[in-house]
């Protein structure tokens, strides 16, 4: 009797251990199925990702502004030195004052650009149209922007200065004249320029420039800014020599601010 009782006790103990294990397996069975599903999903995703990455690896897509020889893949990333001075010039292509300024400072601008320390940004405005009526300033500015589409802004504007009519004459509103000026500028594809000019493709851009100019309260053109600071009395006291001096001073200031302490400044 004692042996039977002991055997029964051992069987009871074994059964009590099996029951928790069976219960544990039952609880984990749904999770195990879920894990299998996740493994399959992630495995499929990894396969798809590898396929996509493989396709991208075969496609040559250069980053913005990448450089390289003509006709070949642009595989170089150019890093250009920053220009310490930005010279902003607000001009009106119908304004005699803007023309006079452009002619007086042409050589100065050329020399400043040659230093590699100056970038010139032109802002076209239509102040004369507002003052005298008509649309010559706006039409000429739009045409200049169309020329800029082909990298011929400077050449086109030079022709405008040569043929600029009296401001009371709204001749620059003539599409025929503007087309003639573009032909004189040379290397402008008329098949692209004429539709751009006639369609007023950049008129909204010109209007925005004029709106910003008016809200800035700058007064009469031309207006000159050096790194965003307006140069006072452009028409009365500024000279080419003085402008060069102001630009050089600003370039040195920027250079001194960017050179780490203890290192010599190239501008000094």
Per residue in 54-103, pLDDT (tens digit) is: 555 677 777 787 888 888 888 778 776 789 999 999 999 999 999 999 99
3-class secondary-structure state, position 197: helix
Distance of CA 153 to the CA centre of its chain: 18
Per residue in 206-247, pLDDT (tens digit) is: 999 999 999 999 999 999 999 999 999 999 999 999 999 999
How far is the CA of 80 from the CAs of 61, 65, 67, 113, in angstroms?
A: 21, 11, 12, 15
3-class secondary-structure state, position 203: helix
In this prediction, residue 122 carries a pLDDT of 97
Please choose, from the candidates 180, 174, 176, 91, the residue with its C-alpha nearest in 3D space to the C-alpha of residue 134.
174
Predicted TM-score (pTM) of this structure: 0.71
Answer whether 102's CB lies under 8 Å from 174's CB: no
Distance of CA 105 to the CA centre of its chain: 28
Answer whether 226's CB lies under 8 Å from 83's CB: no
Considering the chain, what is the average pLDDT of its residues? 84
Contacts for 49-53 with beta carbons within 8 Å, 24 or more apart?
none
From the CB of residue 128, how many other CB atoms can be counted at a distance below 10 Å? 25
From the CB of residue 82, how many other CB atoms can be counted at a distance below 10 Å? 7
In this prediction, residue 82 carries a pLDDT of 81
- In the numeric block, the tokens 């500015």 are attached to 141
Q: Which phi and psi angles does 218 have, rounded to 5°?
A: -80, -15
The mean pLDDT value for 28-48 works out to 58
Please choose, from the candidates 144, 214, 121, 97, the residue with its C-alpha nearest in 3D space to the C-alpha of residue 136.
144
Q: What percent of the chain has pLDDT over 90?
A: 64
Per residue in 66-77, pLDDT (tens digit) is: 888 888 888 778
In this prediction, residue 161 carries a pLDDT of 98
Whether the pLDDT of residue 36 is over 70: the answer is no
Give the whole-angstrom CA distance, residue 105 versus residue 237. 14
Per residue in 96-139, pLDDT (tens digit) is: 999 999 999 999 999 999 999 999 999 999 999 999 999 999 99
- In the numeric block, the tokens 């170089």 are attached to 76
């Amino acid at each position: 009797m004692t042996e039977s009782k002991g055997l029964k006790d051992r069987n009871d103990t074994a059964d009590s251990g099996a029951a928790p294990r069976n219960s544990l397996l039952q609880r984990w069975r749904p999770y195990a199925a879920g894990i299998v599903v996740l493994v399959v999903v992630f495995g499929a995703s990894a396969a798809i990702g590898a396929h996509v990455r493989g396709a991208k690896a075969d496609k040559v897509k250069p980053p913005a502004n990448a450089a390289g020889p003509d006709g070949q893949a642009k595989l170089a990333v150019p890093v250009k030195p920053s220009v310490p001075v930005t010279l902003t010039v607000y001009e009106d292509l119908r304004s005699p004052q803007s023309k006079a300024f452009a002619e007086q400072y042409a050589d100065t601008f050329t020399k400043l650009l040659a230093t590699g320390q100056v970038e010139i940004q032109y802002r076209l405005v239509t102040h004369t149209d507002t003052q005298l009526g008509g649309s010559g300033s706006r039409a000429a500015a739009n045409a200049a922007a169309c020329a800029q589409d082909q990298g011929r802004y400077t050449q086109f504007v030079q022709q405008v200065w040569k043929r600029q009519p009296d401001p009371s004459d709204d001749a620059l509103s003539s599409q025929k004249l503007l087309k003639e000026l573009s032909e004189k500028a040379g290397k402008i594809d008329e098949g692209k320029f004429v539709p751009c000019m006639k369609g007023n493709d950049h008129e909204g851009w010109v209007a925005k420039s004029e709106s910003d100019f008016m809200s800035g309260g700058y007064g009469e053109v031309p207006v000159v800014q050096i790194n965003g600071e307006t140069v006072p009395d452009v028409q009365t006291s500024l000279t080419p020599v003085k402008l060069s001096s102001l630009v050089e001073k600003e370039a040195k200031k920027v250079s001194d601010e960017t050179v780490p302490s203890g290192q010599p400044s190239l501008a000094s």
